[in-house]
């Protein structure tokens, strides 16, 4: 049905033309989900934009053909092409929070879309179809709910609305660009099941773009693996994932965290341009390594627990109902008791809104808990505002944030960023010694030593996260709080950063509180596991025992819903 | 929604009290009202008697309470200069300024909004470049220069339009309007353009910037991918999403137009509030200045309240947050 042949998309620029997509072939049959998988920069979204004809500004189609049925899409003039959008080719975007017009009701957006393509249908019939379709996508009581505005729906429900909008004109082909990336695992699995069902029932062809091989394994029939805008491998999903031929596919599969067993280290994608200079790091990092190892053991009582919280509660004011009336406070963290053993990694998992990050902020003294106590190394940790600037824990507990793009000051050189903890905590008074330590630390985290002279924007996401880790280590901490440290990174980069964290943790006996929504990642990292839901602690225990058999139904469910890399439903596809 | 408005009203009350306190401070600290009213030949004991009669020897909080009480009951006092009631003087001048301001606002919206939308949708068109250069000039050239240039061109060189005053006015129930006669409109148009030009450029640039941002959002891209007609996408989806910031700036600018029409009114000798204020400053006519201050504060408070209500009308998310 959809046939893309030899597609090349070029972005002419000042420094010559950049081919985002080169010579890509793609064929999608009706009733088939075709996965496009690859890391960032692979050209997945560019292919989608080329098919819909909505390439961003300088991009042009430099070669190839895109055919939908009998129609040559590239030959159509603008108006005819625009008429095919929605009518024949529709799209589902990544983020359901932003892909609906916030000022219009769901009903108005659906009816408007239907009438735009079938003006003869009439308002009442369009409305009836909209309601039926919403019901079909799993929205209960659609006649009433469709009068609501987008913000009145949860993320998963909104994505169902987006799917209904994409399907309301009965298109032949739907392109879904990371349709579940912004959703929690439980919701993701529901939405994927819905997509699969709609494709089967309606006989639509779908191109599903994702970076997540788990998603590919779960729903696609065929898959195309892309890298740097070129096809690496294509075929039936079961074949490609079960018996990959290309070296890139093999290493990509290997770098995905496994949910079913714990590996000592991730195998890395062999690639000179990305591999850290590990051999050079061994020598050059020696100074920083010795310096870190010589750190004075905490002044505390040498408690077995590096960090402990007891009955911690963080409540935020509820929305104001009236002049003197407020909603009851929202308990983001509700009566949580946790302990991080010395030299261990505690994995904290939970869906979005479960209070993981709030707990981390409370430990860092960034939010004010309303009840409970915290101890660091056996000594009481003053909460929130009452923790003095000079409190020793401010040095000893360091944080690595999720987004490496916003956690480094873009106007300072890496050298200055890394030297800051040394100055701030008065660890190294001599500027020369500071510079030597900084460059040695850069080697230790796997970056070239000339990185000190450069600025954050000159580094990739993974390199920036290495810088953030180096900055945390230069405070000579004994506890690291890592809040989703790799969820903004590609899998192969994630594997490198996780390997680095594991190395450092073992070498320096760091105690790490590792927060993540991804159970597979946590399994690779953590010695102990704590599961949170709606601010409460659901379950805590040894990691291996937890993954062998979680006690609580919630954790069992969470575990079952995480996509795993076995192809669940190998469908015999006659295409 | 109602508690939301109620909360805003209470806040507005405090703002008005603060403005009144400032106006009251004028009386207290800018010169001595008694020596303003009397001449050199007034005997000191007469001045003392006047001071007691006017209540100027009372404790300051009591005086302030009396001042606020007078304002609330509509007693604005008498002008030092003309011996007329201040309320009456201002009421006479309000129509002129309000009409000038409204027509200026209308001009700025009618040109600024379509211009901004055009510039956002055709960022590389020559027309857009011309508009942007034009607005840059509009922002940079001071109001009075534009006024004088317009007078020179249309009033003196071409002789098409009058150069000062309101022209023919019609009295409707105490409201002297120039909107009902051709002569009135001819007199109004130049000052209105002069006054509206700055707001026009600002509106145009703001609409353009906001619209360009909105056009890049996911929901517009999704609307494109669904094949909605371009007109629907541009006006029903994109333009409505630019309205919240635009409404804020336009309304606050309108407050500014009313409050600071001083320059335009003096260039065109437009008999409005601005001219009255200018004359009052020249004669240190403190009661008029104080009431003018309170009135302008009131205009801003009302406009802000209107903006909040408009927000709620435009954006359902704010509506719910307000009701919740």
CB contact under 8 A, B6 and A117: no
Nearest to B228 among A99, A112, A327 (CB): A112
CB contact under 8 A, A90 and B226: yes
CA torsion angle for A441, A443, A444, A446 (degrees, to 10)?
A: 130
Task: Give the Cβ contact number of residue B144 at 10 Å.
Answer: 13
Is A104 an interface residue toward B (CB < 8 Å)?
A: yes
Q: Which residue reads 């750190």 in tokens?
A: A295
pLDDT value of residue A281: 47
Q: How far is the alpha carbon of A161 from chain B, nearest alpha carbon, in Å?
A: 12
Say if residue B34 is in the same domain as residue B154: no
- C-alpha A260/C-alpha A564 separation (Å) is 8
pLDDT value of residue A574: 38
Cite the residue boundaries of each domain of chain A with CATH code 3.40.50.300: 2-254, 278-379+391-561
Is B301 an interface residue toward A (CB < 8 Å)?
A: no
Selected from 3.30.565.10, 3.40.50.300, 3.40.50.2020, 3.30.1490.20, the CATH number assigned to the domain covering A278-379+391-561 reads 3.40.50.300
User: In this predicted model, what pLDDT tens digit does every residue of A246-261 receive, in sequence order?
Assistant: 988 888 888 888 887 7
Is A169 an interface residue toward B (CB < 8 Å)?
A: yes
Structural domain of residue B309, as residue ranges?
87-323
Say if residue B243 is in the same domain as residue B304: yes
Is B323 an interface residue toward A (CB < 8 Å)?
A: no
Say if residue B61 is in the same domain as residue B207: no
Say if residue B103 is in the same domain as residue B40: no
pLDDT beneath 70, residues of chain B: 1, 30-31, 319-324
Token pair of A124 as six digits: 């009442």
CB contact under 8 A, B237 and A101: yes
Contact A537, A334 (CB under 8 A): no
Total number of domains in chain B: 2
Say if residue B202 is in the same domain as residue B110: yes
- C-alpha B274/C-alpha B271 separation (Å) is 8
B81: in domain: no
Nearest to A99 among B6, B219, B316 (CB): B219
How many contacts, defined by CB atoms under 8 Å, are there between A and B?
A: 91
- Report CA-CA distances (Å) from B259 to A198, B20, B190, B295: 61, 16, 19, 9
Is B232 an interface residue toward A (CB < 8 Å)?
A: yes
Is A100 an interface residue toward B (CB < 8 Å)?
A: yes
Say if residue B252 is in the same domain as residue B299: yes
Q: How far is the alpha carbon of A180 from chain B, nearest alpha carbon, in Å?
A: 15
Q: How far is the alpha carbon of B121 from chain A, nearest alpha carbon, in Å?
A: 13
pLDDT value of residue A272: 42
pLDDT beneath 50, residues of chain A: 272-281, 299-300, 567-575
Nearest to B221 among A54, A116, A169 (CB): A54
A177: β partners: A209
Contact B118, B207 (CB under 8 A): no
Domain A2-254 fold is Rossmann fold (3.40.50)
**Which of left, alpha, beta for B272 (phi over 0: left; psi -120 to 50: alpha)?**
beta
Q: Pick from A169, A211, A174, A165: which is nearest to A196 by CA?
A: A174
- Report CA-CA distances (Å) from A7 to A46, A207, A240, A437, B33: 11, 15, 22, 50, 85
Q: Which phi and psi (to 5°) does residue A371 adopt?
A: -160, 165
Question: Of B28, B44, B72, which residue constitutes the final position of a domain?
Answer: B72
CB contact under 8 A, A52 and B321: no
Using only C-alpha atoms, chain B has a radius of gyration, in whole angstroms, of 24
CB contact under 8 A, A321 and B321: no
pLDDT value of residue B142: 85
Token pair of A331 as six digits: 């308990």
Say if residue B310 is in the same domain as residue B231: yes
**Testing the interface with A: which of B219, B220, B245, B310 to mutate, by most A Cβ within 10 A?**
B219
pLDDT value of residue A193: 92
Nearest to A85 among B226, B232, B240 (CB): B226
B289: in domain: yes
Say if residue B135 is in the same domain as residue B252: yes
**Testing the interface with B: which of A55, A76, A103 to mutate, by most B Cβ within 10 A?**
A103
Is A144 an interface residue toward B (CB < 8 Å)?
A: no
CB contact under 8 A, B317 and A102: yes
Contact A496, A229 (CB under 8 A): no
CB contact under 8 A, A86 and B315: no
> Is residue A237 packed enough to be buried (19+ CB in 10 Å), middle (13-18) or exposed (0-12)?
buried
Say if residue B254 is in the same domain as residue B224: yes
Is A516 an interface residue toward B (CB < 8 Å)?
A: no
B179: in domain: yes
- Evaluate whether ipTM surpasses 0.90: no
- C-alpha B286/C-alpha B156 separation (Å) is 37
Q: How far is CA B174 from the centre of its chain?
A: 22
Contact A562, A516 (CB under 8 A): no
Token pair of A196 as six digits: 């699969």
B155: in domain: yes
Q: Give DSSP secondary structure letters for A102-162.
A: TTS-HHHHHHHHHHHH-GGG-HHHHHHHHHHHHHHTT-SSHHHHTTS-GGGS-HHHHHHHH
Contact B94, B274 (CB under 8 A): no
Q: What is the largest CA-CA distance in chain B?
A: 86
Is B122 an interface residue toward A (CB < 8 Å)?
A: no
Q: Pick from A541, A509, A543: which is nearest to A525 by CA?
A: A543
Q: How far is CA B167 from the centre of its chain?
A: 22
Q: Which phi and psi (to 5°) does residue A275 adopt?
A: -65, 135
pLDDT value of residue A153: 87
Is B3 an interface residue toward A (CB < 8 Å)?
A: yes
Is A544 an interface residue toward B (CB < 8 Å)?
A: no
pLDDT value of residue A511: 93
CB contact under 8 A, B228 and A91: no
Contacts A91 to B, Cβ<8 Å? 222, 225-226
Q: How far is CA A131 from the centre of its chain?
A: 33
CB contact under 8 A, A82 and B232: no
CB contact under 8 A, B226 and A100: no
pLDDT value of residue B258: 83
Q: Give DSSP secondary structure letters for B237-301.
A: IIIHHHHHHHHHHHHHHHHHHHHTTHHHHHHTT--SHHHHHHHHHHTT-HHHHHHHHHHHHHHHH
Q: How far is the alpha carbon of A136 from chain B, nearest alpha carbon, in Å?
A: 19
Is B261 an interface residue toward A (CB < 8 Å)?
A: no
What CATH number is attached to the domain comprising B115? 1.10.3720.10
Q: How far is the alpha carbon of B69 from chain A, nearest alpha carbon, in Å?
A: 27
Nearest to A103 among B10, B230, B314 (CB): B314
Say if residue B61 is in the same domain as residue B94: no
Contacts A54 to B, Cβ<8 Å? 221, 224-225
B79: in domain: no
Q: How far apart are the first and last CA of chain B?
A: 8
pLDDT value of residue B117: 93
**Testing the interface with A: which of B10, B13, B222 to mutate, by most A Cβ within 10 A?**
B222
pLDDT value of residue B208: 93
Q: Which residue reads 């001595």 in tokens?
A: B32
Is A83 an interface residue toward B (CB < 8 Å)?
A: yes
CB contact under 8 A, A99 and B222: yes
SS3 B34: helix
pLDDT value of residue A271: 52
Residues 265-324 of chain A with CB under 8 A from chain B are: 319-323
- C-alpha A517/C-alpha A186 separation (Å) is 11
Beta strands at A173-177 and A89-92: parallel, antiparallel or unpaired: parallel
pLDDT value of residue A4: 93
Give me the numbers of helices (H) and strands (E) for chain B, helices first please: 15, 2
Chain B residue closest to A86 (CA)?
B226
CB contact under 8 A, A95 and B222: no
Q: Which phi and psi (to 5°) does residue A5 adopt?
A: -130, 125
Say if residue B301 is in the same domain as residue B195: yes
- C-alpha A294/C-alpha A476 separation (Å) is 9
Q: Pick from B201, B238, B209: which is nearest to B120 by CA?
A: B209
Chain A residue closest to B236 (CA)?
A104
């Amino acid at each position: 049905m959809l046939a893309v042949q030899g597609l090349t998309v070029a972005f002419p620029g000042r420094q010559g033309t950049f081919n985002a997509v080169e010579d890509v072939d793609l064929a999608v049959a009706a009733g088939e989900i075709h996965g496009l998988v690859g890391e960032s920069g692979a050209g997945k979204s560019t292919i989608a934009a080329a098919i819909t004809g909505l390439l961003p500004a300088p991009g042009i189609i430099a070669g190839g053909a895109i055919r939908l049925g009998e129609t040559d899409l590239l030959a159509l003039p603008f108006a005819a092409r625009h008429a095919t959008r929605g009518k024949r080719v529709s799209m589902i975007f990544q983020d359901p929070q932003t892909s609906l017009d916030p000022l219009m009701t769901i009903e108005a957006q659906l009816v408007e879309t239907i009438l735009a393509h079938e003006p003869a249908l009439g308002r009442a019939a369009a409305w009836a179809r909209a309601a039926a379709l919403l019901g079909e996508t799993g929205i209960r009581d659609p006649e009433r709910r469709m009068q609501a505005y987008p913000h009145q729906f949860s993320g998963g429900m909104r994505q169902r609305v987006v799917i209904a909008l994409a399907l309301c004109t009965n298109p032949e082909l739907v392109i879904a660009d990371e349709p579940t990336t912004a959703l929690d695992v439980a919701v993701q699995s529901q939405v994927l099941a819905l997509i699969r069902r709609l494709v089967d029932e309606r006989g639509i062809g779908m191109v599903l773009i994702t970076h997540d091989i788990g998603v590919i394994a779960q729903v696609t029939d065929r898959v195309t693996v892309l890298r740097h805008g070129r096809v690496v491998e294509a075929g039936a999903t079961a074949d490609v994932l079960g018996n990959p031929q290309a070296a890139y596919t093999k290493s990509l599969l290997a770098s995905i965290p496994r949910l079913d067993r714990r590996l000592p280290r991730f195998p890395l994608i062999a690639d000179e341009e990305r591999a850290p200079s590990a051999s050079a790091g061994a020598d050059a990092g020696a100074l920083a390594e010795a310096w870190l190892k010589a750190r004075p053991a905490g002044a505390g009582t040498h408690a077995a627990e590096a960090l402990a919280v007891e009955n911690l509660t963080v409540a935020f004011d509820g929305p104001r109902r009236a002049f003197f009336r407020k909603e009851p406070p929202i308990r983001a963290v509700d009566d949580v008791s946790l302990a991080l053993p010395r030299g261990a990694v505690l994995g904290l998992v939970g869906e979005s809104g479960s209070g993981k990050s709030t707990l981390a902020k409370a430990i860092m003294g960034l939010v004010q808990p309303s009840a409970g106590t915290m101890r660091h190394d056996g000594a009481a940790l003053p909460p929130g505002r009452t923790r003095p600037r000079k409190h020793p824990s401010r040095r000893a507990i360091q944080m690595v944030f999720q987004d490496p793009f916003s956690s480094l000051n873009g106007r300072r050189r890496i050298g200055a960023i890394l030297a800051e903890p040394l100055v701030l905590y008065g660890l190294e008074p001599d500027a020369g010694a500071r510079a030597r330590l900084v460059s040695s630390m850069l080697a230790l985290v796997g970056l070239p030593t000339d990185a000190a002279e450069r600025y954050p924007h000159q580094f990739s996401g993974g390199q920036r996260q290495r810088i953030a880790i180096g900055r945390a280590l230069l405070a000579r901490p004994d506890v690291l709080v890592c809040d989703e440290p790799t969820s903004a990174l590609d899998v192969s980069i994630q594997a490198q950063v996780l390997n680095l964290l594991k190395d450092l943790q073992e070498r320096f006996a760091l105690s790490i509180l590792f927060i993540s929504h991804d159970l597979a990642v946590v399994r690779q990292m953590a010695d102990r596991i704590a599961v949170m839901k709606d601010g409460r602690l659901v379950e805590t225990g040894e990691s291996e025992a937890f993954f062998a058999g979680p006690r609580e139904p919630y954790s069992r469910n969470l575990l079952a819903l995480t996509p795993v890399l076995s192809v669940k439903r190998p469908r015999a596809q006659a295409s | 929604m109602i508690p939301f408005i109620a909360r805003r009203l209470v806040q507005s009350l405090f703002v008005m009290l603060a403005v009144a306190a400032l106006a009251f401070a004028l009386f207290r600290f800018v010169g001595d009202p008694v020596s303003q009213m009397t001449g050199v030949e007034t005997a000191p004991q007469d001045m003392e008697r006047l001071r007691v009669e006017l209540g100027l020897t009372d404790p300051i909080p009591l005086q302030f309470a009396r001042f606020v009480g007078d304002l609330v009951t509509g007693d604005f006092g008498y002008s030092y200069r003309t011996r007329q009631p201040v309320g009456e003087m201002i009421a006479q001048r309000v129509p002129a300024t309000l009409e000038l301001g409204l027509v200026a606002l209308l001009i700025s919206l009618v040109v600024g909004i379509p211009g901004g939308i055009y510039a956002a949708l055709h960022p590389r068109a020559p027309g857009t470049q011309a508009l942007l250069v034009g607005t840059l000039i509009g922002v940079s050239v001071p109001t009075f220069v534009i006024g004088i240039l317009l007078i020179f061109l249309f009033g003196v060189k071409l002789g098409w339009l009058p150069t000062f005053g309101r022209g023919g006015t019609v009295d409707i129930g105490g409201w002297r309007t120039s909107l009902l006669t051709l002569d009135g409109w001819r007199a109004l148009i130049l000052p209105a353009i002069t006054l509206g030009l700055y707001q026009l450029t600002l509106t145009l640039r703001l609409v353009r910037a906001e619209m360009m941002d909105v056009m890049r959002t996911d929901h517009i891209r999704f609307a494109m991918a669904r094949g909605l007609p371009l007109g629907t996408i541009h006006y029903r989806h994109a333009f409505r999403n630019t309205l919240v910031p635009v409404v804020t700036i336009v309304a606050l600018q309108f407050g500014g137009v009313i409050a600071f029409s001083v320059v335009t009114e003096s260039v065109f000798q437009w008999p409005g509030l601005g001219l009255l204020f200018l004359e009052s400053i020249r004669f240190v006519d403190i009661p008029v200045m104080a009431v003018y201050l309170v009135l302008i504060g009131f205009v801003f408070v009302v406009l802000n309240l209107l903006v909040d209500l408009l927000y709620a009308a435009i954006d359902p998310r704010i509506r719910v947050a307000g009701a919740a």
